[in-house]
């Protein structure tokens, strides 16, 4: 064998080793997911190098941004809602009646993501075309430059601005047909802001639907069955989710290390665990093979230094039942192979117990981010079509 052939063989072997990731048997198009995951890891590594060179964190994300480009069916504009950048998508065709609206919040672990990313731009266009809706896709400041509650406050300020009668009239939106939606960290912000609206006497317009797509909803227990089962399943590893959570609150690594050990909640907050006790809140089939153990408590000074991780605005599952009772029709999408699966499942249980109407869609062969990659994966486009059909029928 010649040197060139040997080098090629070694290169192919190394590439295969880097790309290959063990996946569950029932995931559709596994090699496409492996390649996507490899590209994401390369992008994260490149972002780290660029950050060392003085670029902003996750600078690679700029390559995924697209300008506000209108087409034959959709008018796209970038503007500000109460100083918060948003991208507005409107149907070009005139309507004799008021339209429904979707206020959408992107994911990205509070550290990345952008309404201008091609994935979110495409999602919003599909919503406009399928629903004949006005779509507001909001941005918010990101960690680690900004920590909680900045992200929450940005989204809430933009949402409150949109829910004013004058603004809705400007965009031709029916105030009785508004949905607040988001995926992952965006689902977290959608859940938190929808709860906050219930306490805001200045907001007179009620949201009709909240739609939470594989949302992150609690910080107390990093050892749920879904975290155990899917710790190494892309697109979201357990370590990465804990990293995102900790960076949401602080750049201090102390909190991250405590969360990884699941020893971050002080004994004084022990009463909160009833809101996230998976042994009572998860359906039986998701508990099989797992034993619930009482939480290990962390030092009290962690909660004093970083109170955000115990704040209901960051962890919607910490709301008491009386708060949950006022929430609107709720759509929750969970994926089997996702560390955040059980957050969504527990919220389904708690909302139903509080008397809230809930529609739960569980994707048995789904992974975290499946809707964001709907352009690339058959399963993603299939689930997106089902999701848009449901919105069309209920919003």
Place of tokens 């290990």: 296
Distance, in Å, from the CA atom of 314 to the CA atom of 217, rounded to the nearest integer, reads: 7
- Residue 62 three-state SS: helix
143, 368, 372, 374: the active-site residue: 368
How many beta carbons lie within 10 A of that of residue 103, not counting itself? 26
Determine whether 45 is an active site residue. no
- Length reported for the chain: 395
Q: Is 337 helix (H, G, I), strand (E, B) or coil?
A: strand
Told to judge if 338 belongs to the known catalytic residues of this protein, a careful annotator would answer: yes
Please provide residue 102's backbone torsions phi and psi, each rounded to the nearest 5 degrees: -120, 120
Question: Which residue in 137, 184, 269, 315 is the catalytic one?
Answer: 184
**For residue 155, which phi and psi values (nearest 5 degrees)?**
-65, -45
What is the per-residue burial (b if ≥16 Cβ within 10 Å, else e) of 267-279? eebeebeebbbbe
Token code pair at residue 207: 């949201």
Residue of 121, 154, 221, 338 with catalytic role:
338
Q: Which helix (H) or strand (E) holds 102?
A: strand 99-105
Active site residue 184: yes
CA 255/CA 222 separation, integer angstroms: 13
Across 34-59, b (16+ Cβ under 10 Å) vs e yields bebbbeeeebeeebeebeeeeeebbb
End-to-end CA distance of the chain: 65
Catalytic machinery residues: 184, 338, 368
């Amino acid at each position: 064998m010649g040197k060139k052939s040997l080098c090629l063989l070694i290169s192919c072997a190394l590439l295969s080793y880097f790309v290959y990731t063990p996946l569950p048997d029932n995931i559709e198009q596994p090699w496409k997911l492996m390649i996507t995951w490899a590209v994401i890891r390369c992008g994260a590594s490149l972002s780290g190098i660029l950050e060392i060179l003085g670029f902003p964190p996750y600078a690679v994300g700029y390559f995924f941004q697209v300008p506000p480009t209108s087409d034959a069916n959709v008018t796209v504009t970038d503007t500000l809602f109460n100083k918060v950048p948003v991208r507005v998508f409107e149907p070009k065709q005139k309507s004799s009646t008021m339209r429904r609206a979707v206020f959408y919040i992107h994911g990205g672990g509070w550290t990345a993501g952008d309404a201008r990313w091609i994935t979110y731009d495409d999602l919003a266009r599909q919503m406009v075309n399928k629903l004949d809706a006005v779509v507001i896709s909001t941005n918010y400041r990101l960690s680690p430059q900004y920590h909680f509650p900045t992200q929450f406050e940005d989204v809430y300020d933009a949402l409150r601005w949109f829910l004013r009668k004058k603004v809705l009239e400007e965009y031709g939106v029916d105030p009785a047909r508004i949905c607040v939606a988001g995926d992952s960290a965006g689902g977290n912000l959608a859940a938190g802001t929808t709860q906050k609206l219930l306490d805001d006497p200045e907001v007179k317009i009620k949201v009709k639907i909240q739609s939470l797509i594989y949302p992150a909803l609690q910080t107390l227990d990093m050892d749920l069955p879904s975290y155990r089962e899917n710790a190494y399943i892309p697109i979201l590893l357990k370590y990465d989710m804990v990293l995102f959570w900790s960076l949401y609150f602080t750049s201090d690594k102390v909190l991250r290390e405590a969360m990884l050990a699941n020893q971050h909640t002080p004994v004084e907050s022990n009463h909160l665990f009833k809101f996230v006790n998976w042994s009572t809140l998860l359906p039986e089939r998701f508990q099989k093979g797992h034993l619930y153990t009482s939480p290990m408590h962390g030092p009290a000074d962690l909660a004093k230094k970083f109170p955000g991780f115990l704040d209901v605005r960051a962890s919607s599952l910490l709301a008491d039942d009386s708060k949950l009772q006022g929430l609107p029709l709720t759509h929750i999408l969970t994926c089997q192979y996702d560390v955040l699966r059980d957050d969504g499942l527990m919220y389904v249980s708690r909302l139903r117990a509080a008397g809230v109407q809930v529609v739960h869609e569980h994707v048995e062969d789904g992974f975290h981010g499946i809707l964001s990659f709907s352009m690339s994966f058959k399963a993603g486009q299939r689930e997106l079509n089902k999701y848009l059909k449901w919105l069309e029928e209920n919003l």
